[in-house]
Every structure is written in structure tokens, then in C-alpha cells.
Structure 1
Amino acid sequence: MSKIIKLSRAELTGPKERRLLRAMVDQVPDYLFVKDLDCRFVIANEAVVRINGFDTPDEVFGKTDFDLHDAASAEKFFEIERSVIKSGDSIIDMEERVVDAVTGKEKWLLTTKVAMSDDEGVVIGLVGISRDITARKKEDSLRDEQAVVVEMIALNSPLEVVLERLVRLIESQLDGIFGSILLLDETGHLTHGAAPSLPQEYSRAIDGIAIGANVGSCGSAAYRRESVIVADIATDPLWNDFRDLAALHGLRSCWSTPILSHQGNVLGTFAMYSASVRCPTEIETRLTRMSTRTAAIAIERRLAEDQISFMAHHDMLTGLPNRSLLIDRLTQAILQTERHNPWVSVVIVDLDNFKLVNDSLGHTAGDALLKEVSKRMLDCVRPTDAVMRLDGDEFVILLTDLPENTDAISATLHKLRTAIGEPLTIKNQAFHITCSIGVSTFPQDGTDAETLIANADAAMYKAKAAGRDGFQFFTGEINFRAHARLALLEGIRKGIARNEFHLLYQPQVDMKTGRIFAVEALLRWTHPSLGLISPIQFIPLAEETGLIVPLGDWVLEEACRQNKEWQDAGLAPITVCVNVSARQFQDLNWPSRVLRTLDETGLPAECLELELTESLVMRDVDQAVKIMKDLQSAGVAFAIDDFGTGYSSLSALKTLPVSRLKLDQSFVRNLAEDEDDRTIAAAVISLGQKLNMKVIAEGVETDEQVTFLRNNNCDEMQGFHFSKPISSEGIESLLQAQEPKTSSGAIEGRQ
């Protein structure tokens, strides 16, 4: 609503009245002024006088904004004030940006301008009052930019981009401050993270400095694990080695704070530099705390992603590439071979009688032996070759750019056997290890990666059958392994028709309450003549041949039927978890079969969880998300199985409608004695919870494992510590032993 202040001309211009008005307005901390019809200052309080760089109000009297501001700003102020004077309509709480003439700093003002009239109602000017809202605008900007930085972290933006945005945010909040983030590497050196405003020559000079007790502000802060404030670089002994460098670039003070992980490990440092000698203000200290926390989240996210990527592609014991990289490396080698015509050979090395080392001296000694053998194999090959660990005591070596004869291959094999056979001492006991080696070569023994690996494996078993401690080239004959494979395949087909398969169920337990909230359905096969056959033997073959699709459909139907039967018997509802194979997931009709199975069995969709592996989902993320969301809309939940053994982009993982991550049992097995596994497990738990997912540990067998998982806030567990896979009757007995639970409470355990 418009408001006009009425004032007589005598009141406005009389000496006594002007003195009275000036005395009053000078007490107002805001900027208060009166202007005439030509928008010239008639009255201005001391705040207006100071911001415009004058000493007395008389110096402002008669001036316009064109005398005080740049042309563009003055023109804007003039048009607004002329509009107020002409229309009589007030401008309320308008935000204006001005420059303090004394400090040269930009300020934000919240301004109100009201038309002023005399006692006859004639407009004779306007009254304005402005409040300094610079601090509020900075706080608003800080919150907005913080949200942007957090979003960048969540969307998996490159770490260097996130850190630079964070440093620029802090610099925008402060005057005369240059921010810097350095990252601590594994060797104890600080490397460049972000320093957008520091001189590039200075940043390059300190990139890679080793931390220490007296290494400037940052090196000392990282070493001492505490903030280091240097008010005067020119006199502080911490800067003895860098004083001239800082002086060259006009840096006089530096305050550094270590960036710590949630476990207390130093990740890097955050520093503020100033060209003046001084200590940080309270605001600067507060912003430093905020920055280090945000930087820690970004760096930990990057480290966790790098760690998961490395775990997905490398053997954690030896550091060698693992099976996941084998096909890719071999395929690339074949493509190079086709272009340039040299040979490429696949060499599978299996240590003879390795089990004796584990049995006699324990797994720790066995691990030490595998590490030493890995080093010896690496020493025997060229940089163009590759050594990989498949599993246990089995390794693969890719030999590339070979001449078209077996002499060079044989020479390398003899070198390998000799190196591996050298005695080694473990726990003061000498060991003499031999190996069996199988070789296949492209293109004679296969034209694709899978065939070459299979044929090298067949040759290796032939070497073992020949007495071990030797090597064999693939000859092309069908050996006993191929016959066994065909027989097993035929047995699966007949087993489906004869109902030879059945399900066992393993409970999943909430670690806080100890209650069963779900069970995993596990497929078992009892062959009429061979007896119980391990899933490890038949499931990979069923997956390869496509028989996993009818098997998987049967498992889903039987698991849903059984769960509904438990509910009909009066037991509290629980979730049944069913594994999904790659073949099933790629079948376009599979989602409709899931929904039909739920409809036919009468099981509520909320009582079914489907478990997918990382590698399965990452084949086509967009398609996976669509399928999962379609089923999720019906109530079906999803979990990522064997998490940590594959590789998934965290930005992609964040988009998946997944409620749980299953920590693979390979990381749980040695939690009590393996520091690497403890680190990995803690990282996966932290990562999953940061993505708002429950984390369940598989293969939990010991009290020590349970203690570690509890201490690291793991949500759920599954394994022999609570129960091995048991029959449906056994599950029924366990559920009956629990206290009664409501339907909603049973499902809450996995939300």
C-alpha cells in the first residue's frame, strides 16, 4: 500500500528543524536520507556519509547518485526514485547492490523509498532508508553453494571439480583469503587438490612435499593431526624452508587444518592464506570447520569408489589383476594379434599340493607363499605380458607378441618353473613348491577368449594327471573334464523334469534385535546316482547354457509358495529373497512372470526381495532401472548381491531402486585377522549407509566377525553363526520360537 510522508517546507528547510532532524537520523544505524524533487540529497545521516566516503553531511548535501556511483547504478536509482516521486507509490524492501567508497567492497542493502509531501499534500521529495544485509546475503549464498557442492558429491562429479568449487565458495565469503586443499597420498606426501586463487608457481612448488613436524603449516598440520596457525610466515620457524617462496608471492600468514576421515585418518589439509600478518577470525575458523567436513566426505567418496573399483578388478592378497580383467585383457591381446600376426598364449599355472601348506602352517602362511610366488612370476615375464590370479592357487599369464613357434613359450615356461621351484622359508620352515602348467595359443587352439582359457585349463589338468611339476600344450583332444561337463548338462535337463531340485532357506537376522526378518532361498540338487551336487558345480553350467531360466522360474514359484504357506499357517510375515541370474534378467518376459507368480501364489509383493549382482546390473543400467522400477512399483524390493566383488559406478548405483547391499562373504571370512578385509568391510558399510541402503553381511560364522560388524554399525547378517541353510520345516520352527510380530514390523527390517 502506498504511503506518503507529509512535511511542511518550513520543517524541511528551517535551520532549527534541520538540526533536530539530523540529530535524530544520526542515531539510526541504518542508512537514512531525504532527497528533493531532483533527487538531490537534502538530509543524510552519518551512515550515508561514511559509505559514500565523506566526512560531514554537508559534503553530501546537493549531490545526486550520479555524483556518487557508476553511471549504470546511478541511472537505475534515479529512475526508481523519479517513479516514486511521480506516482506516490512506495518501494518497499528492494535489494540493492552498492560499493562502499571507503573500503571498495561490495555491499547489499535492503531499501525502502517513500514519497514525501508538504502539509498541502504536494510531493516535495522522498525519504529513503536502507539496511545492510551483506552478511545475510553471504549466509544465503553459503547455504546455496553448500547444497550445490553436496549435490556434486552425490552425483559423483570429479573430485578436483568438487574441491575447487568448495575452495571458491570459502573465498567468496571472506576478504583477502586464498584457499588451498592438499591431498595426502600413501607415501606421506601432500599433492595438489585445489587452489584456484593461489599463484600457480607457488602451487606447483609445494605439490608433493613430504609431511613432517616442521614443514610449513600444511605439512605440519597433516603430521601433527591438528590445526596449525601461522600468523607471520616471515618469523615462524615452521616456514624456514619455505619462507622465501611465500615472500616471493606475497603470502604472510597461513592457517592449515587436517582433513580427517570418519575413522580419524588424515586425508589431506585445508589451508587459508592471507597477504597480511594476522590470525583467523571466528568466522574464518567456522568456515574452516565446515570446509574440512565437506572435503572429507568428497575425498572419502572418491577413495571408496577407487577402492571398490580396485577390489573389483584385482586380487586383494597379491595385488594382481583378477578374473574380471582376464577376458578384457585377453580379448584386447587377440585383437592386437589379428592386426600384427604375432602369437598370444594363455598360460594357466596351478601350484601343486598347495593345500599341504595351508593344512600344516595355516592360511596366513599360505597367503605369504602366494604373495612370494606372485612376485616370482612377475619377475619372469616382460612388461607387455600380464600375470593374473584366478582363485586360490591358480594363476593365468598372458604372453603377447610372441614369434610363431613354441621355443619362446617353452623358454618362458622353464623360467617360470625354475623361479617358482626355488626354496622359500615360511615360519622358519623351508618349502619346495612345484607347479602344473597348461598352455593354449591363438589362433591354433581357439579364436576367442573363453575357448582359449578352457583349453589352457584342460592342458593344465593333463599336466597334473601326468605327474605334476610340468607343463602341457593343448592338443585338442576331448578329455575327461569335457565328458564330465556334458554328463552334468544332461543331468540338469533330466533333473528339472524329474523334480530332483529342492530349496533350503537361510535366515537373515537384524543385528540390533536378533530377529529373523527374511530368508534367502537356496537351490539344491539331489542326483539319483551321484547324490547331492554342489551348486558351484551346476549353477554356472546352467547359466551358460540357458537352463538357469526354467530353474530360476521354479525357484521363484516355490519360494513364493512356501512363504505364503508360512503366512497361512499363522506365522508372522517375513521376506523371501530370491537370486536372479543374468539370463533371467535379460529375458523381456521375466518381469511379467514375476508378477504372475505373485498373483498365482497369493504372496504379497512386499514379501519378495530379488537379489541382483553388480555386474548384472551394470551391463545396461538404464534397462535395469526400468525393469526394477516397474517391479518396485508393484511392491517388490531389490538387493545388490555379492557387493564389492564387481564394479559399479556409484552415480549409477545411487539411481537404482535398491534397498539393501549384501557384503560379500569373501570380505567377511577373514575379518578377525585380515586388516585389508576389515578396511573393505567398513568402507562398504559406510558407503551403503551414505546411499541410504541397509547393509547385510553374508557368510558370518564367528563371534569375532559379529563383534566387528556391530562395532561398524552393520545392519543385518546372514551365515552359520545364526543358522546354516535349513528346510522349510526348520524355518517354521525358528519363526515359531520368536515373539509374535505384526505384519508391518516383519517387513520393517529391510526398509
Structure 2
Amino acid sequence: MNKPALQHARTGERSRSLDIETERLLAATQALMAANAHHVADGIEQLRLKAIVHELPDFLFVKDRESRFVFANSATAKSLGLERASALTGKTDFDLVPLERATKYYRIEQEIIASGKPRLDMEDVIPSASGGKPVYRLTSKLPLRNDRGEVIGLICISRDITERKRQEHLRRNQAELLEMIAKSEPLEMILEALVLMVEDQMTDIKGSVLLLDPEGIHLSHGAAPNLPATYSRLIDGIAIGPKVGSCGTAAWRGKPVFVYDTQTDPLWEDFSDLAAQYGLRSCWSTPIMTSQGNVLGTFALYSGTVREPTERELELVAMATHIAGIAIERKRAEDRAYFMAHHDDLTGLPNRAFLKENMAKILFKARRNGRKVTVAYVDLDNFKQVNDSRGHSAGDELLKELTARMVDSLRASDMVVRLGGDEFLLVIVHQSRHDTGITRRLRELQKAITQPVVIGEIKIAVTSSIGVAAFPADGETPDELIACADAAMYKAKEHGRNRLQYHIHRPDAAGVMPLSEQEELRSAIGAKQFFLEYQPQVDVASGRIVGLEALVRWRHPRHGMMPPGQFIPLAEESGLIIPLGLFVLNEACRQAKEWQVMGLPPLTIAVNVSARQFGDPALAAHVTEALEASGLEPQWLELELTESTLMHDVPRGLHVMQALKALGVRLSIDDFGTGYSSLAALKTFPFDRLKMDRSFVEALPRDETTVAIASAVISLARRLRLAVVAEGVETDEQLEFLRQAQCHDAQGFYFSRPVGPGEIAKILARAGDRLA
């Protein structure tokens, strides 16, 4: 199209007379209408086609080659603000709609006329002139030809698809909301998105969600993105009741409450001034319910005009309250699950998981503010005796009462954690850099624990051993602090119990690594820097190898081979002996099974169990897992326990040993004779072997007293049907004495130093498997 013609089209000046081609187009259109009138159904055959076209809700119009209207139905005219369709004749879109839209329509129509190709199902968004929601239309424009096939204009059909688009948008938003719920997005974000979705589907409506507290008394703010913020704050925390506006009443009744005029309805008597201040004339509130019919909150819609909700608005509210109920119930279930995972069932105190999540944050804040943190490890003395003598029910009641006393003895800023059983951890955050009185408060707490507890008709009293460590003096990480407090608690136990013991940091103590290297030790476990060597145990009479003791070694990346004396004490003190001990247990079982698979004779593999490991409630489970993972039969595993470990808590020690014996493993008492309670241990515990300490063997056979004691020990063991293993054998004289005293087994440098798995395989493969 040339420039003058385009300018003519944009001026919108109506032509005084249509050109010949346009007249022909009009005549052809009228003829087409007249011809098609014969095909109308019987019921309306008397109606003229033109009248039918004007009754259509869809737009239908014809334009000439200059994009001037030749014919349009009434729906088209009304959409453009014209009363009569004939008023459109000769006009262009430049006369009727904003320039940007007119230019777009003109460009598309000229492309259709020039190419002769239709444009079908074009989606068009028409902004509202009043600033309301836009209108969506689906438009098809087709070339119109004369009898010679020449394009003389175009015909257009356009349908309003606003409702369809609105429904599509609603379904998309619903899917997004359900996805947010499934992904556990924050509840406030979900509720706000829900309110916005409902508002988007309505006109001049503002939504609000209020949440009912667990006590069922007050409503609190959930979401109200477009309500005045001041209004939302004023109604936040309002108590529900039979006459508390729309929401408070709906929550009280458990049924929808529709108030059409907040200025006259008696339910709003106390709040009408507030509603008037913010122009809220109607309020329709629906309770959000659980699947069991309990009220979770309310979903309300506010209108600035006095009116009733439409049927469509009620349908949207029903959908919204259903989704809100799902989201709120999901959040409450997650909160319950989190609480259960992070709190102790019996006492309601935070547990280890909670401590792990929060301890690092506490120390970070203390470090930033230059404050101190005190960690106290509390262990109730002889608590197991309460369970054994009074029953677990009495023990549970005692724990709950003592828990309450501990909580009451501390400030709100402090924390009490139940680590398990009768062990608790107190985390006390100093209020200032010079906060004093921590010791006094801990002693008062200890006295409070000591006071008798009345359960039924009896009084039960227990004492406590408390170990104390401080940040940053005793450690800068949660693990370091807890380990130091734990070690101090064990010291309190050793010194008679019912004591308050502070951690004594000894970084320069001989043979013990400083606390700062604990992390290095922890990393070494994961980096596989530890490995095992094995020392043979030999039958004294025959000289055959009957067992092996597994001994852990550390190949340090900087210091080379480190003897156990340099890292075992640190592992014990820090609690890292548990993961280290698990490594030894699993590796020893795996290696023993591997030797058997190689066809070597099966031997008992002896593994040392530390005091910390023995105190682990999961010890029997760990042993079971090691045996199952390796495939080693339990009779080939022997666990070595020290008498001091067992005598710390005799009833518990006996219970643990019985559980281990039930697995089929063997048990031996290590370093026999070094403690005051050895004979009592032999009488009480179900041992299979005892290991005579090397301090006795070293003096054989020169020292007469030692000879007498060693002979008595071997004789006693034989009468108790226990095997005896003599440690530290290095000379012919020592071996000969043991042979004469009828000692069963021996180990020491006389036979072999601890060696690696390969060397053990070579030794076992030699003819006779003899070392003596």
C-alpha cells in the first residue's frame, strides 16, 4: 500500500462514496447472506440471516482492502461504544481504538490481503478502559475473494475467551499452590499466593486468612497482601466469640458467616467504626477446617460495596478454604514431626538432634559478642538402681520431676538437653562478658536434684555427677566442649560421684595430643589413616597359634607412625574412641573372614572395647552389624573389656555382657590383676578368658610374690573353667614357667611383634602354624 493510501486510512475520514470494489464487496456480502438464508434450520427459516448475525455474541465483520469496515454485527459495534452497527461502515481501527492496537490490526490485515493466507486462532488481550481486568479474545481473519479469485477484503470472526483464560489461569495457580505445599514452602508464602489467586479471579475484592491458635482461642495473621496493613495489625490476635465480626464468629460457630453490611450488622457492632475507617462494607468469612471437622482458621473476602457474594465467588472461596486447610494441616504435621525428631518424648526437652542444629549458632553469637558459654554434662548417679528396684514407671516419673527442677534452675536463655537415659547437657549463655555465679547456680541445681522426689507413697532421692567445660577456654566447637564436659563428668564419677568437676585442660601432658588436634584425629578416621596390626596368641603347650589380637595404628601424614599412647587418650577424652572403635571392630571382623576365605585355619580375633564404647547403648547392635557385614561367625570374635569399665556400673555392665553373650561372641577381661575388684569381676560377669597383665609376667619367674600370685590366678581360672592368656611374654624362662603352671595361652614379642595382615597370612600358611 502506498503512503498516501496509508495516510488516508489513518486519518479515519469517512469516504463520501465507497469505491467500486468496495461496493462490489458489500453487494457480494449481502448476496452471500441472502443465499445462505435458504440453509437455515426449519425453526428459524423465516428469520433473515442478517438478523441472526446481529444476535451472535461473537464479533463478525467484513473489511475492504483498505481495512475499512464494510459490514459488522451489533456485538462488534457495541464493543466499540456504538449503538448501531451501520455506524462502523467506512471507518478503520485508527478511528476506534488506541494507535498501538490499530497499527497491529492494520499490519496483520494487510498481510492477509497481500498474501491471501488466513490468520487463524489469534489470541488478543484487550485492556479494560476502566482499569479493570483485561478481555481475552480468540480471533480468525480470512481473505475474501470475488468470482475471479481476487482478494477484495477480509472477513473476521472473534470470540470472547476471557472466562476460559481465567479458568486456565486458575488451574495453573492451583497446581503451583499444590506444588508449593508439596515442597514445604513457608506457610505464609503459600497463604499469600492463595489469597492473590482468589483476588485475581474477582473484581474489587480483598482477601484475608487468619489462623486459629492451638488452644482454639485467638486468631492471628496468616495472609492479607492487599488489606491495609494497619487493619491487619489491629485484628491480629483477636479472640473468637459469638459476636466478633465475621471471622471471629465464623471460627466460633465453625460455619460460614456472610455480613453484607458491616455498618448495620450486629456481629460488627464493636468493629463497625474500624471497618468504616478502611472502607470495608461487606465481609464474607468461611472457616478453614481439618479433615476431622476442626477449625484451623478463617478465609475472608472484603468488598467496598454492600452486596452478597456471587455463586462464582462462593465456589472460589470453597476451593480456597480447601487448599488452605491442606497447607495448614501439612505445616502443623511438619511442625509436630520436627518437634518429635528434635525433642525427647518423655521429658519434652530438646534432644541431641536439636543440640546439633543449635549449638553452633550459640557459639557463633558468643564469639561475635565476646561472651562465654558454659556446658555442663549432668549424669544421675545410680539411676539404673531406681529402675531395677522401683520399676521403669517410677524411673520415668523421677526423670520428669528432675527435668522440671533443672529447667526451673536455669534462665530462659539457657538450654537443657536430654542426651539419653539419665544424661543431660546444660548450655548456659553468659549474659555479659563478666557473668559470674555459674558455679553457684550449678551447685544450687545439684542440690535441687538431690532433694527427694515423692512418687506414690515412697520418696526417691538420687545424686548427680556434673562435668563442666567453658567456651572458649576448653574448646571452640560443640564437639570439643561436649567432649571436655563429658570427660570432666567421668572424673566426677571416679572421685566419688555427687560432685561438680571442671575440665582440666592439659595441652602439655606427656603423650597426649592437645585439644586443637581433635579435628585432625576426627579427619584421620574418615581419611583411612588408621590401620590394624595383629599379634598372635599361642597355645603354651603346643606352640600353635590359636588367636590374634587386633591393635590399631595411625599412619600420620606428617609425623609418620604414631604409637597408640599418643592418640588413644585423646580419643577416649573426646569421645572419638567410639567411631575409632567401630572401625577396629569392623575391620578386624572383615580381615578374619578374609583369612578364612583364603583357606587359612579359623582363629579367634580379639578386639578391645573402650569404656566409652561399652557405655554406648548401641554396642550390641554395632557388633551384630560388623558380624553380618563381614560374614564372620560370632564364635570367632572375642571382645576384651577392662575391669574398671565393668565395675563403674555393675548392674548395667552385667546387662550389656549378657546381651553380647546372647550374640555368641566370646568375652575376656583385660589387664586382670591391676584393679581392686578383679575377683569380684570373675564372680559376677560371664567371661570366657582372662588376660594376665604384663606387669605380672614381666617379673616371672624371679619375683617369688609374683610367682605365687600368677600361680594362684592360673589355678583359680582353671577351677572357674576360664582360659588364661599371659601378656608380654619375652623370654624362655617366662614361657617355661607358664607351661609348668599350665597356663593356656600367651602372647608377646617372644612369639611375634604385631604385624600386618599379609605377614599373618604367611605365618599361618607355614607348616604346623607353630611359633614356639
234, 237, 244: which one aligns with 1:208: 237
Q: 1:344 to 1:200 in 2, by over 3 A?
A: closer
* Residue 436 (1) aligns with residue 465 (2): yes
Deviations 1:482-506 (A, max 9, x none): xxxxxxx99x9979996999xxxxx
* Residue 34 (1) aligns with residue 70 (2): no
CA distance in 2, matches of 1:360, 1:151: 55
Letter aligned with residue 547 of structure 1: F
Larger Rg: 2
* TM-fit CA distance, 1:64: 2.5
- Residue in 1 that maps onto 2:579: 543
* TM-fit CA distance, 1:310: 3.5
- Residue in 2 that maps onto 1:391: 420
CA distance in 2, matches of 1:277, 1:496: 96
Q: 1:360 to 1:170 in 2, by over 3 A?
A: farther
Deviations 1:600-634 (A, max 9, x none): 9xxxxxxxxxxxxxxxxxxxxxxxxxxxxxxxxxx
- Residue in 2 that maps onto 1:83: 111
322, 326, 329: which one aligns with 2:351: 322
| Alignment of structure 1 residues 306-385 onto 2, 5 Å | 306-326=335-355, 344-352=373-381, 354-355=383-384, 366-383=395-412, 385=414
- Residue in 1 that maps onto 2:101: 73
Deviations 1:315-345 (A, max 9, x none): 3443433223446766667778888887654
Deviations 1:678-711 (A, max 9, x none): xxxxxxxxxxxxxxxxxxxxxxxxxxxxxxxxxx
* Residue 230 (1) aligns with residue 259 (2): yes
* TM-fit CA distance, 1:274: 2.0
* TM-fit CA distance, 1:304: 3.8
| Alignment of structure 1 residues 3-82 onto 2, 5 Å | 9-10=26-27, 12=29, 20-82=48-110
- Residue in 2 that maps onto 1:139: 167
* TM-fit CA distance, 1:255: 2.2
Q: 1:126 to 1:410 in 2, by over 3 A?
A: closer
Contact 2:247 2:286 in 1 (8 A): yes
* TM-fit CA distance, 1:80: 1.8
* Residue 419 (1) aligns with residue 448 (2): yes
| TM-score (structure 2 length as normaliser) | 0.56
Letter aligned with residue 124 of structure 2: E
Q: 1:279 to 1:450 in 2, by over 3 A?
A: same
Q: 1:456 to 1:124 in 2, by over 3 A?
A: closer
* Residue 296 (1) aligns with residue 325 (2): yes
Letter aligned with residue 256 of structure 1: S
CA distance in 2, matches of 1:321, 1:44: 76
* TM-fit CA distance, 1:450: 4.1
* TM-fit CA distance, 1:94: 1.7
CA distance in 2, matches of 1:212, 1:260: 17
CA distance in 2, matches of 1:543, 1:183: 47
CA distance in 2, matches of 1:110, 1:403: 71
Q: 1:215 to 1:400 in 2, by over 3 A?
A: closer
Contact 1:179 1:271 in 2 (8 A): yes
179, 193, 204: which one aligns with 2:222: 193
Q: 1:216 to 1:431 in 2, by over 3 A?
A: farther
Q: 1:211 to 1:474 in 2, by over 3 A?
A: same
Letter aligned with residue 34 of structure 1: V
The total of aligned residue pairs comes to 512
Contact 2:25 2:152 in 1 (8 A): no
Letter aligned with residue 203 of structure 2: D
Contact 1:496 1:551 in 2 (8 A): no
Contact 1:37 1:125 in 2 (8 A): yes
Q: 1:335 to 1:166 in 2, by over 3 A?
A: closer
Contact 1:8 1:119 in 2 (8 A): no
Q: 1:265 to 1:394 in 2, by over 3 A?
A: farther
* TM-fit CA distance, 1:309: 3.6
288, 295, 299: which one aligns with 1:259: 288
CA distance in 1, matches of 2:461, 2:26: 112
CA distance in 2, matches of 1:70, 1:219: 49
Q: 1:493 to 1:20 in 2, by over 3 A?
A: same
Letter aligned with residue 285 of structure 1: L
Tell me the secondary structure at the aligned position of residue 219 of structure 1. Answer: helix
- Residue in 2 that maps onto 1:281: 310
Contact 2:26 2:71 in 1 (8 A): no
| Alignment of structure 1 residues 276-675 onto 2, 5 Å | 276-326=305-355, 344-352=373-381, 354-355=383-384, 366-383=395-412, 385-401=414-430, 408-427=437-456, 431-441=460-470, 449-450=478-479, 452-461=481-490, 463-464=492-493, 468-474=497-503, 543-545=579-581, 547=583, 550-551=586-587, 554=590
CA distance in 2, matches of 1:33, 1:327: 73
Letter aligned with residue 51 of structure 1: S
| TM-score (structure 1 length as normaliser) | 0.58
Q: Per chain length, whose mean CA-contact separation is higher, i.e. which structure has more relative contact order (CA < 8 Å, sep 6+)? A: 1
Contact 1:53 1:101 in 2 (8 A): no
279, 284, 298: which one aligns with 1:250: 279
CA distance in 2, matches of 1:548, 1:353: 31
CA distance in 1, matches of 2:119, 2:338: 59
Instruction: Could you tell me which runs of 5 or more consecutive residues in structure 2 were left unpaired when the two chains were aligned.
Output: 1-21, 38-46, 510-524, 538-546, 551-574, 598-628, 632-772
Tell me the secondary structure at the aligned position of residue 113 of structure 1. Answer: strand
CA distance in 1, matches of 2:310, 2:431: 67
Letter aligned with residue 543 of structure 1: P
- Residue in 2 that maps onto 1:95: 123
Instruction: Could you tell me which runs of 5 or more consecutive residues in structure 1 were left unpaired when the two chains were aligned.
Output: 479-488, 502-538, 562-596, 601-751
Contact 1:22 1:43 in 2 (8 A): no
Letter aligned with residue 26 of structure 1: H
* TM-fit CA distance, 1:416: 0.9
* TM-fit CA distance, 1:25: 0.9
Contact 1:189 1:211 in 2 (8 A): yes
* TM-fit CA distance, 1:182: 2.3
* Residue 164 (1) aligns with residue 186 (2): no
Q: For the aligned residues, what is the CA RMSD?
A: 4.7
CA distance in 2, matches of 1:34, 1:405: 90
Tell me the secondary structure at the aligned position of residue 69 of structure 1. Answer: coil
* TM-fit CA distance, 1:542: 5.3
Q: 1:408 to 1:102 in 2, by over 3 A?
A: closer
* Residue 106 (1) aligns with residue 134 (2): yes
Tell me the secondary structure at the aligned position of residue 202 of structure 1. Answer: helix
Tell me the secondary structure at the aligned position of residue 198 of structure 1. Answer: coil
Tell me the secondary structure at the aligned position of residue 246 of structure 2. Answer: helix
Letter aligned with residue 119 of structure 2: I
* TM-fit CA distance, 1:91: 2.1
Deviations 1:642-696 (A, max 9, x none): xxxxxxxxxxxxxxxxxxxxxxxxxxxxxxxxxxxxxxxxxxxxxxxxxxxxxxx
- Residue in 2 that maps onto 1:579: none
* TM-fit CA distance, 1:113: 1.9
Contact 1:6 1:121 in 2 (8 A): no
CA distance in 2, matches of 1:272, 1:339: 47
Letter aligned with residue 377 of structure 2: I
* Residue 116 (1) aligns with residue 152 (2): no
Tell me the secondary structure at the aligned position of residue 321 of structure 1. Answer: coil
Letter aligned with residue 218 of structure 1: C
253, 268, 271: which one aligns with 2:297: 268
Contact 2:25 2:64 in 1 (8 A): no
172, 180, 188: which one aligns with 2:208: 180
* TM-fit CA distance, 1:351: 3.2
